[in-house]
Each structure stands twice: as C-alpha cells, then as structure tokens.
Chain A
C-alpha cells in the first residue's frame, strides 16, 4: 500500500490547507469563548447576595499560573521554531517543557476550583459562579486537550521522526497552544483583574 509521502505533488497544498482549516477551527473556538465571555459579562454581578470576584479571587496565585502559562507559550514557540530546521531533539525537549508547565497550570486551576468548592462556593450558588466556573473550566479543558495531544504527537515524532505529517500536526498543536494562551490573557484581564475592582 502506498503512503502519502509517495505523492509529493499534493503534499504541499495539503499542508497549507490543513493550516488554513485549523486556523478557521480556532476562530470558531474563539467565537465559542466569546459567547462564554459575553455570558460572563452579563452575569458578573449576579451573585444573588453571595460573594463576588472581589471576595473569591486570589490574585497572586492567578498571577503565578498566568506567568507559568506565558512561559509555556514561550517554550512552545521555541519548539515550533525547531520544527522547520528538523531539530528533533529540540522539538521533543521544548514540547516536554511546555507539557510540564501546562500541567502545572492545569493542576493549579483545579486546586483553585477545589478551594472554592470546599468553601461551598460552587457553580450552584449563583449565576456569577456558574459563569466563572464554566468560562475558566472550558479553558482548562482546552489546556487538558493540549496536554493529551502533546503526548500523542511526541510519541509520533519519536517513532516516525520529523516527517511532513508530524511536522504539520505539531504546528497545528502550537497554534492551538498559542490560541489557548491568548484566550487566557483575555480571561486574566476580564475575569480576574476587572473582577476585583
């Protein structure tokens, strides 16, 4: 059976088509987040007499996880730059670092959620908390998905090396990671920084 690499005539367009298609998918994901942001904006003050952002957010901790995620964005960038120069070791190494930083971020968000739930401030308490948990939680799910795919694609790179299909997939993964990071910056500003004023 033939493999894709036997057809170099279409490989080039395929890569561009994949990137363009993945980019459009990211735009749709952005609109999904925009809808959740809009809902959060509407429900921000709907605390139903309960605590709001001012009482609940631990800004220093959020700053830490933001810096961690920013660093992971930087390391992801370093990994991405190593792809076109076929530096397999660097690619794997920097994605691995990205994974660890992303994992820290994810676990820290989970811890933050855990504290809130322990204190009885669950999503069932008010519309504000519902919107908060959903918005931040959806982002955390995106990070989790990113972590899963870092592992999957690194396995593929280890086994098959940096061939066109693995390079394409890693580039898409990087696009996803940067996208998730950008969404987090919006969240940091709109939810946390604006939430305590």
Chain B
C-alpha cells in the first residue's frame, strides 16, 4: 500500500513538473500569457497577481495534504490525539488569512475592473480608429464608418493606434474576441457593446466568436492584422477600389446564413447601416 502511494505521489509530482515545464517552453504560443496588446498585457498581469495571491493558500494546502497524510498514516504510530477537535488559533488563521488575501485581491479587482472596463477608451496621443462590428450568421461584418469601407472576416489597423470597436449582432448572441490583444465582450442584437483594444506590435492576430450562435459557429474566425500606418492607408485605398458596395440590399443578402465565409471587401456602404441594424430590434417601424 505504502509503495503504491509513493509511486502515485512520485507520478503526480512528475506530472506537475512536466506541465509547468511545458508551459514555460511553449509559453510564447499561449495567447493569454503572451499578449501583443496593452489591454491583454494588463489582464495577464492581473492573472499573475491573482495566481500568486492564491498560491499563498494553495501551496500550504498541498504541502499539508501530503505531509499530514504521510506522517499520520496508521502504521507509523505517530502522536495520536483522537479527541482533539478544536483550536481557536488554527481557526483564526484559516478564516483570517484568506480573508486578508481576498481583500487584497478585491482591491486589485476593483482597480482592474475600472481600468480595463471594455467600454473605457484607451488613453493615447494617437487618434483612435473606429470599427463597427456586426455578428452575423456565421461571419463577422466590419464597418469602418470614417473610411467608408466594410469587410467580412478581416480587419486591419495600424499598430499602437487605439481601436474603438462598437459591437452588435444581427444574429444570436456572439462574443467578440481577439485573445492576443485582449478580452472579449458579448455581441447582442439590439445592443451596442464596446471594446477598446490596441496592438503593441504588427502581426496577424486570430479572432473568434466565443459564444455559440448556431451551426456555423466554429467557422466564425477572422484575422485582425496590425500594420504600420502607411501599410494601413494603402490597404484602405485598395479596399476602396473593390467593386462591391454594401448597400442595404447587399447587406440583406449578406445577412442570409452562410458558413466559413472567405474574406470580402466593400468599397462603400449605406450610411448609418450599423445604427439601422441595431434599431431594427428596438421599434416596429423599419425604414
């Protein structure tokens, strides 16, 4: 019995070491731990703070579990106090210390929630770029109101420029997420959610929907590409040369269910299309 327990413990420790080692070796492939945007970085830092605070409790728990189980196994005949069942000091410690840890973590949470509120614009001396996002079945429509272009399943923006996403849905609830840049926010019909992200460096970042919205949900991935300002301007020009235009009729066609849509570009569109999409759900009068 004891031998079997020793083997199991040894295997467990081995597993733990392997897991942590692999985590470090492949860390740069882990989007949340290796973000490429300021918001993602702050969220990761919060994750680390919370982890360390929790380890103050978790490590003693593991140490005590294995230590006590081993030391007080019946064969060993250690000190035996079968009726000792109360200690004010012990209770004070394990009610009190975790409370203190939680208060500290709570303070970090309060601060973090306000600082990283998805609706809060990013402070920067660069002029932000607005992209309106519409979740459809089963693709993402992106409208650039200032540039008067629109795209499907692809966005491009300059690095280090804050991007103000305004998000809605003309489909079931979805969730707009670019893990390498920062956290997600729900896309809901009749509602306007906001998300503010910024890319620190150029790159191609994978985006997805994180809330199931039907049969084609797995195909709702898109690329968010951060480039230099010049490359971005060139790209905008090239999109403007696209023959397709996102009129209301074209939108109604686009709205029809389809899966794994390829990237599409639209050179101009219906003005205020985003508002029209949102307001459809709010009142019976449809323009």
Contacts and interface: CB of A to CB of B under 8 A. Distances in A.
A48 interface: yes
A127 to B, nearest CB: 11
A48 B190 CA distance: 12
Interface residues of A, number: 3
B283 interface: yes
Interface string A40-51: 000000001110
B280 to A, nearest CB: 12
Interface in B243-287: 283-285
Contacts of A49: 283-285
Contacts of B284: 48-50
B121 to A, nearest CB: 29
Majority secondary structure of chain B interface residues (helix, strand, loop or mixed):
loop
Nearest to A46: B282
A50 B285 CA distance: 11
Interface in A46-68: 48-50
Nearest to A50: B284
Nearest to B281: A48
Task: Indicate the size class of the contact surface on chain B.
Answer: under 10
Nearest to A48: B284
B190 to A, nearest CB: 11
A49 B285 CA distance: 9
A48 B283 CA distance: 5
A126 to B, nearest CB: 9
Contacts of B285: 49
A160 to B, nearest CB: 54
B147 to A, nearest CB: 35
A48 B282 CA distance: 7
Interface in A16-53: 48-50
B2 to A, nearest CB: 50
A49 B282 CA distance: 9
A49 B284 CA distance: 7
Nearest to B283: A49
Contacts of B283: 48-49
A50 B284 CA distance: 9
A46 to B, nearest CB: 10
Contacts of A48: 283-284
A49 to B, nearest CB: 5
Contacts of A50: 284
Interface string B207-232: 00000000000000000000000000
A197 B284 CA distance: 24
A125 B31 CA distance: 47
B25 to A, nearest CB: 50
Interface string A116-129: 00000000000000
Nearest to A126: B284
A50 B283 CA distance: 9
A193 to B, nearest CB: 27
6 contacts: A48-B283, A48-B284, A49-B283, A49-B284, A49-B285, A50-B284
**Top 6 closest pairs, chain A to chain B, by CB:** A49-B284, A49-B283, A48-B284, A48-B283, A49-B285, A50-B284
